[in-house]
Homo-oligomer: A and B are copies of this chain.
Amino acid sequence: MEQKSIQDYYDDDFAICYGCGRLNKHGHHLKSYWDGDEVVCHVRPKPYHTGAQNFVYGGLVASSMDCHGTGAAAAFKHKHDRKELGVDKLARFVTASLQVDFLAPVPIDGVMEIRARLEEIKGRKVIVAMTLTVNNMVCAKGRMVAVQIPDDYLEKYNPPEK
């Protein structure tokens, strides 16, 4: 049986992200998985995702880290709270801040592997460190402060239609 990704456990209401939502028909469908104490994803750029010739544009690196980081944050918090995927409701996180350091051009013909490591949990806030490698070469590092979406979010921003 294929392992389910973190994003597969998002509530339907929060599964429409262009970057990682399984219900977004146009999107990238980024998927993040537990791997030991880390959360990992793999992204294969399209040939037209160029920045300069032969290399990936920075936006794909940043946007992949944004989706992967919030997914990893949800997974880390879930585990920290001793909850189980598929049993307990998975909270959704949004990015408060994202720092990306670009260390080397990212080859467009490789697969980007992004590994997320838990740095710290402070209440509803989760700090995630990320490393992006292609063929084991470190090309970028990221650091995200993610915040758990308030329970009244949907009510506040999407009141039911009358």
Contact = CB atoms under 8 A, between A and B. Distances in A.
A60 B26 CA distance: 14
Interface stretch (A31-39, A81-89, A93-101, A129-137): A93-101
B102 A100 contact: no
B25 A48 contact: yes
Contact of A49 (B18, B50, B51, B154): B18
Contact of A63 (B21, B26, B63, B101): B63
Interface of A: 13-14, 16-19, 21, 24-27, 46, 48-55, 57-60, 62-64, 66-67, 70, 92, 94-102, 105, 149, 153-154, 157-158
Decide if the interface of chain A is mainly helix, strand, loop or mixed.
mixed
A48 B18 contact: yes
26 contacts: A14-B52, A17-B50, A17-B57, A18-B59, A18-B60, A19-B58, A19-B59, A21-B50, A24-B50, A25-B48, A27-B48, A52-B157, A54-B158, A57-B63, A58-B67, A58-B70, A58-B94, A58-B95, A59-B66, A62-B63, A62-B100, A95-B102, A97-B99, A97-B100, A99-B99, A105-B157
